[in-house]
């Protein structure tokens, strides 16, 4: 029972932390670019304001348009609930493994892109088309990277994978290096960051995620934005717990848990810094360069898997 309560609390924590993560990256970026920048907790204010505002719906909106934000948000929350964040001892990880996690992310994207096409404006279709193109290249790379980790731990259960990675002796396996690199590239593409998409832009030639949610307003927009922030946090947590898993609690003992909470918070903040730096020093790619980027991610992930099977299986 304690396990389940802990899993729910942990999910709530990450859901509530997500806006701060987004605000933190934004604030750092502003600082790096010599701008004043809004405080890191600005996204909380934005979400609160949006949730109080009146919703304006287009005349052509269908019921799917209204249901999509709820679906996208709740699926992302359920996805967050199966990822080990502070501790690997969580019963929810058994509900859904890493393949289901990828399935959840695909499900949110499915509804997000459909919502983009619902109103019948050019922007929505443009965003959806770009999103499905990019994700159809990114998703296999993501799955391959996950498979490599899963084969290493001989399990697709996220808790088992993370605890295996955290407990095993630190050896730089080639498979882990390749698949981590592939995974980081995919994470950048899937969370709509530079060099694939620019979260700050509303220019029709470049936007992807923003184009799909252009017609949303009020609480619907708040949910969509929050889901995007949660997805960003989720990917960062996955990077943290897969690549630098040390510190994650193995049990629910208070001391271990405290270390787990502190270490993951620290890792997220540091990874946020790295992302802000990376976004400051490079520019967005042309859309048709994106396949090269994602092709690289796919090849790296596949290389990781091959090198695991060829070199590391005894």
Partner 1 sequence: METHMFLTVAQSGIFLSFLSATVPLLFLRQPYLLVRISFLLLGLSGIAAAWAGGMILLTNQAEQMVLPIGLPWLHVALRFDPLSGFFFFIVGFVTFTAACYGPAYLREHIGGPHPIGTLTFFTGLFVGGMLLVLLAADAFSFMIAWELMSVASYFLVAYQHDKAGNRSAAFIYLLMAVIGGAFILLAYGVLAGFGDSFSFAAMAAAHLSPTWATIAFLLAFIGFGMKAGIVPLHVWLPQAHPVAPSHISALMSGVMLKVAIYGFIRFVYSLLGVIHWQWGVLVLLIGAASALLGVLYALMQHDLKRLLAYHSVENIGIIYIGLGLSMIFHATGHMEVAALALIAALYHCLNHALFKSLLFFGAGAVLQQSRQHDMEKMGGLIRRMPVTAACFLVGCISISALPPFNGFASEWLTYQAALQGPLLRSGILGAIIPIAAAMLALTGALATACFVKVYGVIFLGLPRSSQVIEAQEASFGIQFAQGLLALCCLIFGIFPTWVVSTINVIAVNLLHTGLARVAGDGWLWLTPIGKQTASYGALSILFGLGASWLIVYFLLHPPRRDNQIRIAPAWDCGFGPLTPRMQYTASAFVMPIRRIFSFVWFIFEKVEPAHQGKGPRFFLQINDWVWVFIYLPIGKLILKLAKRAALIQGGNLRVYLSYSFFTLLFLLWVIV
Among 38, 110, 201, 265, binds partner 1 (CB under 8 A): 110
Residue 296 binds to partner 1 (criterion: CB under 8 A): no
Single out the segment in contact with partner 1 by CB under 8 A; choices: 116-124, 236-244, 258-266, 270-278: 116-124
- Among positions 251-280, residues that touch partner 1 (CB under 8 A) are none
- In whole angstroms, the minimum distance from the beta carbon of 279 to partner 1 comes to 23
- 301 and 307 Cβ atoms separated by less than 8 Å: no
Among 10, 87, 89, 113, binds partner 1 (CB under 8 A): 113
Residue 174 binds to partner 1 (criterion: CB under 8 A): no
- 304 and 178 Cβ atoms separated by less than 8 Å: yes
Among 10, 87, 128, 236, binds partner 1 (CB under 8 A): 128
Closest CA to 86 of 255, 260, 229, 246: 260
Positive or negative torsion for Cα 294, 297, 303, 304: negative
Nearer to partner 1, 106 or 274 (CB): 106
Residue 44 binds to partner 1 (criterion: CB under 8 A): no
- 22 and 232 Cβ atoms separated by less than 8 Å: yes
Nearer to partner 1, 25 or 144 (CB): 144
Residue 250 binds to partner 1 (criterion: CB under 8 A): no
Long-range pairs for 75-79 at CB < 8 Å and ≥24 separation? Answer: 75/104, 75/107, 75/108, 75/111, 76/104, 76/108, 76/227, 76/230, 76/231, 76/234, 77/11, 77/15, 77/230, 78/104, 79/104, 79/105, 79/108, 79/234
Instruction: Give the number of other CB atoms < 10 A from CB of residue 186.
Output: 29
DSSP 245: -
Residue 71 binds to partner 1 (criterion: CB under 8 A): yes
Residue 173 binds to partner 1 (criterion: CB under 8 A): no
Nearer to partner 1, 28 or 90 (CB): 90
Nearer to partner 1, 29 or 130 (CB): 130
- 82 and 11 Cβ atoms separated by less than 8 Å: no
**Binding pattern to partner 1, positions 188-217, x when CB under 8 A?**
---------------------------x--
Token representation of residue 261: 């909470």
Single out the segment in contact with partner 1 by CB under 8 A; choices: 148-156, 193-201, 250-258, 271-279: 148-156
- In whole angstroms, the minimum distance from the beta carbon of 150 to partner 1 comes to 6
- 231 and 22 Cβ atoms separated by less than 8 Å: no
Residue 94 binds to partner 1 (criterion: CB under 8 A): yes
Give the span between the Cα atoms of 112 and 104, in whole angstroms: 12
Give the span between the Cα atoms of 224 and 68, in whole angstroms: 9
Residue 74 binds to partner 1 (criterion: CB under 8 A): yes
Residue 137 binds to partner 1 (criterion: CB under 8 A): yes
Nearer to partner 1, 151 or 276 (CB): 151
- 228 and 112 Cβ atoms separated by less than 8 Å: no
- In whole angstroms, the minimum distance from the beta carbon of 151 to partner 1 comes to 6
Nearer to partner 1, 215 or 279 (CB): 215
């Amino acid at each position: 029972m304690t396990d389940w309560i802990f899993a729910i609390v942990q999910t709530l924590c990450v859901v509530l932390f997500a806006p701060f993560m987004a605000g933190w990256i934004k604030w750092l970026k502003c600082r790096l670019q010599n701008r004043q920048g809004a405080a890191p907790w600005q996204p909380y204010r934005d979400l609160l304001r949006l949730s109080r505002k009146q919703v304006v719906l287009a005349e052509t909106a269908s019921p799917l348009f209204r249901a999509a934000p709820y679906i996208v948000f709740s699926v992302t929350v359920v996805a967050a609930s199966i990822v080990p964040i502070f501790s690997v001892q969580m019963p929810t990880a058994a509900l859904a493994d890493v393949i289901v996690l990828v399935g959840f992310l695909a499900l949110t994207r499915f509804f997000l892109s459909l919502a983009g096409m619902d109103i019948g404006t050019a922007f929505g279709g443009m965003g959806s088309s770009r999103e499905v193109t990019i994700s159809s290249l990114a998703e296999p790379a993501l799955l391959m990277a996950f498979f490599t980790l899963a084969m290493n731990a001989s399990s697709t259960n996220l808790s088992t994978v993370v605890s295996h990675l955290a407990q095993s002796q630190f050896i730089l396996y080639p498979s882990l290096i390749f698949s981590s690199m592939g995974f980081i590239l995919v994470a950048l593409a899937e969370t709509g960051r530079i060099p694939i998409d620019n979260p700050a832009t509303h220019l029709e030639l470049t936007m992807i995620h923003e184009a799909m949610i252009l017609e949303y307003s009020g609480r619907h927009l708040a949910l969509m934005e929050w889901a995007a922030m949660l997805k960003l946090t989720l990917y960062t947590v996955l990077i943290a717990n897969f690549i630098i898993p040390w510190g994650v609690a193995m049990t629910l003992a208070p001391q271990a848990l405290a270390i787990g909470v502190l270490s993951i918070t620290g890792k997220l903040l540091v990874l946020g810094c790295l992302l802000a730096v990376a976004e400051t020093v490079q520019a967005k790619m042309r859309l048709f360069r994106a396949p090269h980027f994602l092709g690289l991610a796919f090849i790296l992930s596949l290389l990781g898997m091959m090198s695991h099977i060829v070199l590391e299986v005894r």
